[in-house]
Amino acid sequence: VPFARYLAMNKITNIKRYHIAKVYRRDNP
């Protein structure tokens, strides 16, 4: 089921991006 896998990867990427943005913002206010 490639579509489900694509959605899962998208979700994981968004979570990673969110965490990176949070840490980046905290380190560089």
Kindly write down the DSSP assignment for every residue of the chain, as one continuous string: -HHHHHHHHHHHHHHHHHHHHHHHHHH--
Give the tens place of pLDDT for each residue, 13-26.
999 999 998 888 88
pLDDT computed for residue 25 by the predictor: 84
Q: Is the pLDDT of residue 28 over 80?
A: no
What is the pLDDT at residue 26?
84
| Per-residue model confidence (pLDDT) at position 29 | 63
Q: How far apart are CA 25 and CA 18, in angstroms?
A: 10
Q: Domain residues of the chain, as ranges?
A: 1-29
In angstroms, the CA 20 to CA 13 distance is 10
Mean pLDDT of 1-29: 89
